[in-house]
Structure 1
Amino acid sequence: MAINETKNGTYRVRKKYPLDVALLLELKNPYFDKIFKTMKEAKEAELDFENKIQELRKTKDKTIFELGGEMLFRDFYESIWLDAYSNGSTSSHPTPPTKVTINNTKDVFRLHILPMFGRYSLNYLNQNKQFVARKMTVKAREYANFKTLRSYVNQIFDLAEEYDYISYNRLSKTLKKIKALKKIQLANNKQKEDKYLSEEELIKWIKAIEEDHGEGLLTTQDYTLFWTTYLLSDRKSESYALQWKHIDFNNNQIYLEQALDKLGNVKSTKGNKKTIIHLPVKLKKILLIWKSEQKKELKTLEIEQTDQQFLFTYCDMHGNINKCVHTDFLNYRMKSVRKRHPELKPASPHKLRHTSATLAKKYGMTVEDISNGLTHSNIETTGTYLNNDKVVPLTPADYTLNHLMQNAGGE
């Protein structure tokens, strides 16, 4: 018998490959040597070893022993999978992932996947479904974006199968059955009201913004960025990417045709849509004031304000001037406002979009107009993807603000 119990209470299977098999597999080490937690697993491994020898002698198929699968999960990820993923070879998506997406993926592996599986071989994981299922179920309870994590693990074993490191991906069905428990829990706990501000809460936010700007606690740029993002009902990344060439003061139009990624690079908008938005009266006044003030600020830096100039820029920690604002710029400004006004409900740029849509519907705006105003790709989210330019005569936020002012007796 080739099974021995170790001092640690595990079971070691040590068997020598027959000479003809060792020569066929070109083995440097002629021994099969593995340790298992239970006697049952050890016996199954010994039987599997004998069966594979018989099959190899019949078929001469070297992949039967999956020797490439002895590579550690971490090593396969770093030396094989990551390059294939970066080139777009691990999924059916028509384009390769962006640099931002690649960096996010590396973080998912570094923080979550490699600590779980990095030190185990592909074979061990592929042959121990229950072990993988236990680890992944624990992670599903604590990590909300579990579906992405599960997809990456499955991609690792799909690629290992494609490149003949393993005979086939035995984990696919097991992984699919594991539910995203944390995300389900968060969805059940989250109240609908948490997604948007009420009329009263929105009015308080508007008053706080006006007050802080009046007292010099918000710069003209910060004030302009808030109103631009709110009144356009756009995504903050689309506000960040606005250049003066996109603001047509003569025809009272704003052109939304690009966004910024997390690294500050210009990209297309979500769904590759281009949208023409009627310039709200209030926003036009604010933008004209900011354009004049920005021109003076840039002049002190010996920079000429052109149509290519971005509306919202800052000087970063490395001394780079006139740099596009970073991804959380507006979030930080809104948090600073709330610190000065603790009576305000928590809010974010994305929550403002929800608020605009919810209150606009309450005031009678059609779902179709709301969907167009939010530049959604389909009406269910707020249709089909549209490649033509859409014209938005009135955004949900502008529609809402008009009703709020009327109800409050304002202009």
Structure 2
Amino acid sequence: MPFIVYILGFGTFAQGTSEFMLSGLLPSVADDLDVPLSEAGLLVSAFAVGMIVGAPLLALATLGLPRRAALAGFQTVFVAGHVAAALVPHFAFQLVMRAVTGMAYAGFWALASVAAVSLVAADRRGRAMSVVVSGLSLSMIIGVPGGTLLAQHTGWQAAFWAVAVLTALSGIALLLGLPGGHDAGTPRPGLRRELRSLAVPLLWVAYATTALTVSATIAVFSYLGALLQDVTGVSEGFVPVVLGLYGVGALAGLTVGGRRADRAPFGVLLTGMGTVAIVAAGIALSADNASVVIPLVVLLAAGGFVTNPAVNARVFGVLGETRTLGGAVNIAAFNVGIAVAPWVSGLVIDAGPGLAGIGWVGAAFALTAVASTLLDRLLTRHDQGTTTTVPDAAEPTTAAR
């Protein structure tokens, strides 16, 4: 695997820490900003909305720019937004900064994904993406628990400062690892061809699966810190440990998914989402039992993240070589799931079931993802007709494209 792919993974680690660390910070942020917990959860959604808008918009806006300059520019905006958020603890301003930094992260992630899959052969795209996305799981193992500890001892603003420093370091590594004038990847096609690449119905089924798989885990993860403290009875000091275990499960899932996604994406998706459905329901039923919930949290992460390389393999397989905008829309689809899930979970919490209800939300999203995957597999087999290509391949036939 080219070394630059690992540098891109470091970038997703630095910025991914910010995306997920609010799971452990929400109670202290809500108290400090004097807003209800469910309203504080909108900060997670604001970041995701910024990514939804930013991924396709910034991918198009930077089509003519060298990826080195665009990637570094996105990271600079990300750093500035976190410094500003740390200095101005006002809820409305936090929402704006979360949206702005979400847009910058979306631009980075979209170009990083395209660069990664452009540097490797078609049968290694899933593995390359698993390296890039493994930065997210590392952010859960190291960044999210570390941010939670900082918040508990020095205030939640310290976590934002730490993210700014990490991102700056990743930007320096990128500039050193990707020399000026070098564009990591194949030449990018024009705007018209990029737009035409989206006119494939099968692609939008894959996008729907992407959003649903993310929603299934984020519905639980967004309020996991609050659930552990208020319902499960885990002490405040032990919450970062559980979040770290979640990250370990995520890394394990990514490792397995990265090895299997290129050969059997549908099998990976069905297995992963089936696992999440069962585990999330188990969390809902045993939310007050720490000895049951903690192992289930690890399994939830493993089942959710094993699907990540598979949804990427499906999307890039359908897209073929025209992948800048299409890959960016997939990033947006990820963040549709991240934006919708906390909102739905918040509604369920306020409606009466309380925090334990987030498990049922996650299970419902997972079962819907299973249905979407089955539809994708059915349509792919129909498009392939009587060919001898294995239906579970990551690369569909020309007709499927």
TM range (shorter): under 0.3
TM-score (normalised: structure 2): 0.26
Q: Which has the larger radius of gyration?
A: 1
Higher relative contact order (CA 8 A, sep 6+): 2
Name whichever structure is richer in helix by fraction: 2
Name whichever structure is richer in strand by fraction: 1
